[in-house]
Structure 1
Amino acid sequence: MEIATRIAGSAAILSVNGRMDAVTAPEFEKACQALLEQGHATQVADLAALEYISSAGLRSILSSAKKLKAAGGGLAFCGLTGMVDEVFRVSGFMKMFRVHPTVDAALEG
């Protein structure tokens, strides 16, 4: 899994590429935490290039979201496709998180 980060206004964008599983999920948490420590409590995860997500990936997302919320921010998602979109729907994450079609839509609200 690869994670590229950039700042857009008051939000940090994490572009996630590859597979988020038990081995790679901690990388997502570390990336979110590093951005939080830099003062970016509002984050958007662009999952357009994410091919697979496991239950470990979902746990990492929950853990990161809780930390961001506690810091007064939040975590939104965009670009879900295929299996990742299906996992978000089945797991109830679509109801728990703000999910948008694009990064721009996520940044707008």
Structure 2
Amino acid sequence: MTVDLKWVRSGDTLIAALLGRIDSGSAEDFQRLLEDGLGPDDHNLVLDFERVAFIGSAGLRVCLVVARQFTGPDRNFGLCSLSQFNRDIVAVSGFDRIINVYDSRATAIESFAHG
């Protein structure tokens, strides 16, 4: 299975609702889809993992590359709605110390609003 995404906006936050598996076979497509959907005026990005079956190290690397574009004042990035399995992968890799992880899309959006 490949990865797909649907873009959604909530106020000034752009949300990538992801679907599929993000592994070494789909990481390149994942990165391309994200980069193609981002504009210069996008300052808040949430990657919604609710429908992601698996994320591997190649997918985490893409998240880190994209997260770097959202560092600085008035810029926010985070992952949300990870299954317990994917949350464990993010934690074991240490990425939860680098990238904000939220329980839900609403929690991420609210956190961004309070900057």
Range class of TM-score, shorter chain: 0.7 to 0.9
Shift of residue 96 of structure 1? 1.4
Structure 1 segment 12-51 matched on structure 2, within 5 A: 12-37=14-39, 39-51=41-53
Give the superposed CA RMSD: 1.9
Residues 73, 34 of structure 1: CA spacing in aligned structure 2 closer, same or farther, 3 A cutoff?
Answer: farther
Return structure 1 stretches of 4+ with deviation > 3 angstroms: none
1:73 paired with 2:71, answer no
Shift of residue 73 of structure 1? 2.1
Q: TM-score, normalised by structure 2?
A: 0.83
Q: TM-score, normalised by structure 1?
A: 0.87
Mapped partners of 2:24, 2:33: distance in 1:
16
Mapped partners of 2:34, 2:105: distance in 1:
17
Q: Which runs of 5+ in 2 are unaligned?
A: none
Shift of residue 17 of structure 1? 1.1
- Report the counterpart of residue 2 of structure 1 in structure 2: 4
Q: Which runs of 5+ in 1 are unaligned?
A: none
Mapped partners of 2:6, 2:25: distance in 1:
18
- Report the counterpart of residue 103 of structure 1 in structure 2: 105
Q: How many correspondences in the alignment? A: 109
Residues 58, 103 of structure 1: CA spacing in aligned structure 2 closer, same or farther, 3 A cutoff?
Answer: same
Secondary structure of 1:37's partner? coil
Structure showing the higher helix proportion among its residues: 1
- What's the % identity of the aligned pairs? 25
Residues 12, 66 of structure 1: CA spacing in aligned structure 2 closer, same or farther, 3 A cutoff?
Answer: same
Structure 1 segment 77-96 matched on structure 2, within 5 A: 77-96=79-98
